[in-house]
């Protein structure tokens, strides 16, 4: 995979990897590639957005928490998205999340949703 502008790479670690969520959000399946995000751990939050809960089938979703520690890392997948698909991901994510730029273990720059 070649490096593309970072607004087209999205690191996922939760429901955006689910086929049903991808089909509804992006209109297609996005396989992505394995990668990891150092300096973060996963926590969990209660989601009260009924659309997201109905689509994902889960009322509790993972959320990233920055630790800054080199021993912490979150394993996930990097999705190659168009700008419109990234906008759709923003719409899917609830207000508990915000999208921030990060550097992945592979050295690639990507967006990720954090709490």
Q: What is the pLDDT of residues 67-78, one digit of tens each?
A: 999 899 999 999
How far apart, in whole angstroms, are the C-alpha atoms of residue 74 and residue 34?
Answer: 11
- Domain coordinates in residue numbering, the chain: 6-114
Measure the CA–CA gap between 59 and 84, rounded to whole angstroms: 26
| Alpha-carbon span 105 to 48, nearest angstrom | 32
Summary count for the chain: helices (H), strands (E): 3, 7
The pTM assigned to this predicted structure is 0.82
**6-114 adopts what CATH topology?**
Hypothetical upf0131 protein ytfp (3.10.490)
Spell out, as residue ranges, where the chain has pLDDT lower than 70: 1-7, 53, 94
pLDDT score for 76: 96
pLDDT of residue 51: 75
Non-local CB neighbours of 74 within 8 Å, separated by 6+ positions: 13, 36, 37, 40, 41, 42, 64
| Residue 98: burial class (beta carbons within 10 Å; 0-12, 13-18, 19+) | exposed
At residue 7, the pLDDT reads 52
Q: What is the pLDDT of residue 35?
A: 98
């Amino acid at each position: 995979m070649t490096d593309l502008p970072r607004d087209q790479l999205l690191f996922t670690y939760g429901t955006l990897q689910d086929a049903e969520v991808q089909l509804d959000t992006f209109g297609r399946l996005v396989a992505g590639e394995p990668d990891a995000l150092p300096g973060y751990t996963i926590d969990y939050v209660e989601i009260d957005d009924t659309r997201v809960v109905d689509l994902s089938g889960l009322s509790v979703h993972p959320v990233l928490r920055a630790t800054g520690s080199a021993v912490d890392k979150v394993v996930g997948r990097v999705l190659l998205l168009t700008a419109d698909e990234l906008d759709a991901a923003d719409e899917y994510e609830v207000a508990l999340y915000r999208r921030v730029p990060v550097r992945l273990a592979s050295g690639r720059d990507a967006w990720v949703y954090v709490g």
